[in-house]
Amino acid sequence: MSQRNQTLGGPIVRQALKESVLKLDPRVMIRNPVMFVVEIGFAVMLLLIAVPDAFGGGAPVWFNVAVAVILLVTLLFANFAEALAEGRGKAQADSLKRSKRDVVAYRESGSGGLKEVPASELRKGDLVRVEAGQWIPGDGEVVEGLASVDESAITGESAPVIKEAGGDFSSVTGGTKVLSDWIRVRMTSDPGESFLDRMIALVEGAKRQKTPNEIALSTVLTSLTLIFLMVVATLPFLGGYLGVPLEVPVLIALLVCLIPTTIGGLLSAIGIAGMDRVTQFNVIAMSGKAVEAAGDINTIILDKTGTITFGNRMASEFVSVGGWSETAVAEWALAGSLQDETPEGRSVVELARRMGIAGDPSLAQSGEWIEFRAETRMSGIDLQDGRSVRKGSVDAVKTWVRQKGGSIPDDLDAKSDRIASAGGTPLAVALDERIVGLIYLKDTVKPGMKERFEQMRQMGIRTIMCTGDNPLTAQTIAREAGVDDFIAESRPEDKIAVIKREQAQGKLVAMTGDGTNDAPALAQADVGIAMNSGTVAAKEAANMVDLDSDPSKIIEVVSIGKQLLMTRGALTTFSIANDVAKYFAIIPAMFMAAIPQMDALNVMRLDSPMSAILSALIFNAVIIPLLIPLAMKGVAYKAQSSARLLRRNLLVYGLGGVIVPFAGIKLIDLAVMWMV
């Protein structure tokens, strides 16, 4: 899935053409009542061609053939639209299948050794070891170790991610590759049940179900079809009373033109294309219902750690104490972090180097590294020249300094309290018996979050951040991120309570999260988006998975949901408005011979009754493929009020649905007259 914006290439179009013929099977067509009626009409026309006197005859054979051909083309165009939308999903599925690999796994045996087995033999609960250069054999949780993992086969992003035991970044996906170090992984899925397998099934559409709005619209279209069917069925009796014989081909043409064939032919394509557009933004939707619901979202609940913030405490500032310079603090903090592979340690190295301090690597290589331990709450290095560097919690470092006979700087407590009151974590840095300064660690907000939340505000969406942090820390992060509200010291049940409270007010709620503690809330929300970097439990509970782990992606998801609803509404409006022009084309043609006054309704001045009927039928068929690009791409969405959107759609697709058919049918009539 390195490229999701797949174009409609030759192979997809050729396969769609083949599928459009195969979908003529009545067992398939009956799922779409509108087009099934058209197919019945086509079957009746074939009977009339074979037996011209059937149903009383009356129409020329050439006219019957022309109507049959146009009806067949109408069916093929409608099937082609659906097959084309499905084809893009299948192309993405094929891309995913190519990323699946028959890899070798190194499973731990009962004796403690490693046994080489095919990945297909692994079962849930098995423990495997994956080293640099090896592929992860299946979905799992890191239980030991830390490694850089290439997830480009799944996410399309070339930048590697760090996976480590514990926390919200322990989930790994089968088919990804370890680039450095090693990890010990516990399998969380059996063969055929992995995240990649589910993604393939989803994009192929195997589990796609109609959404509530799609079902409602299908019911409306079916009802309109039945109404027009009853109306057309009564016309022969009316014609007999007036002395106007109405041939079966003319009645079929009238029925096909009046029932909403345009939206009926494009309805499935619109829904499938909506899910496809979500995948183009590296979001996998478990159902079309989730995409549709996203279009009506009022409130978004966001987990802080790993969602709004990176989830790791990162060094943001060096604070000097006791008269030492900031540069000196950075130099000794760097010396004590060169062999520290924790996220905090790496962030210290990165911050020092951004300040232009490279440090002396030989100091770390020649010294004895002191690992962090829960008992000491410190780490550091003992240098060959006898000096010792320590960094850790302020209390632990103060105790260590006092044991060495040193004194505590007067400004240490005040500056460490300032960092803590701002929601950060202070780490003290000591050189022998002297504390030189503090490292200001804080959970950093992901870049661009404030701007994205402002966009949500303009779309009328309220953002609420939930975090287990204390109120002061929560307030600091909320202010930096720009969310509308926050809930501090929240537990999993608190998140669910917030969602239920919003839903009780008639609002649709979205939830983004990545941790196991977010799973209940993700399941409760109308739209639950789990970060791909998160835990298996979170991804199982959600109905969408963001492969890029970017919580602001909800903006694209909401826009696509609104696009999906607007596209259905726009094409339904256009389809029904088309009937006005078709009415003025066919009704006068049917009754003009017996009722000359009906000529006043022939506002398009069509050449003859036969050409009028054929022109309306041809337009009815041709408009479907012309609207396929709009159905696939969706109506352009702009953040504005519902009233303005409604006015725009009525003006463009309502008025356009009346004007375009008048012009189109007239041009087709001129062409038909010229050919005849």
- Residue ranges for the known binding site for Mg(2+) are 514, 518
Residues with Cβ within 8 Å of 636's Cβ and at least 6 positions away in sequence, in order, are 563
The owner of tokens 């550091």 is 380
3-state helix, strand, coil in the chain (%, to 5): 55, 15, 30
Hey, which residues are catalytic here? 303
> At what angle are helices 33-50 and 61-99 packed, to 10 degrees?
140
CB 489 within 8 A of CB 471: yes
CA 158 to chain CA mean position, Å: 20
Rounded-to-integer distance, Cα 206 and Cα 199, Å: 11
Q: Which residues are annotated as a binding site?
A: 340, 344, 372-379, 391, 514, 518
Q: What is the 3-state secondary structure (H, E, C) of 483-525?
A: CCEEECCCCHHHHHHHHHHHHHCCCCEEEEECCHHHHHHHHHC
Dihedral sign from CA coordinates of 235, 237, 238, 244: positive
Radius of gyration (Cα) for the chain, nearest Å? Answer: 34
> Could you give the 3-state DSSP secondary structure of residue 558?
helix
Structure token pair of residue 164:
């480590």
User: How crowded is residue 547: how many other Cβ atoms within 10 Å of its Cβ?
Assistant: 24
Helix then strand count (H, E) for the chain reads 24, 20
Own/partner pairs, 320-323, CB within 8 angstroms, 24+ separation: 320/436, 320/437, 321/409, 321/411, 321/412, 321/415, 321/435, 321/436, 321/437, 321/438, 322/409, 322/410, 322/411, 322/412, 322/434, 322/435, 322/436, 322/437, 323/409
Bridging pattern class, strands 544-546 and 485-487: unpaired
Closest CA to 428 of 376, 436, 400: 436
Residues tagged in the binding site annotation for ATP = 340, 344, 372-379, 391
462 three-class SS? strand
C-beta separation of 349 from 360 below 8 A: no
Residue with the two structure tokens 């345009």: 262
Nearest alpha carbon to residue 650 among 584, 566, 583: 566
Please give the C-alpha separations between residue 675 and each of 253, 666, 670, in angstroms, as whole numbers.
20, 14, 9
**Residue 300 exposed, middle or buried by CB count within 10 Å (0-12, 13-18, 19+):** buried
Which pair of structure tokens corresponds to residue 382?
Answer: 């003992």
Going by C-beta distance under 8 Å and a sequence separation of 6 or more, which residues neighbour residue 202? 208, 284, 285, 286
SS3 159: coil
Distances (CA, A) of 257 to 37, 249, 318, 600, 669: 12, 12, 75, 21, 15
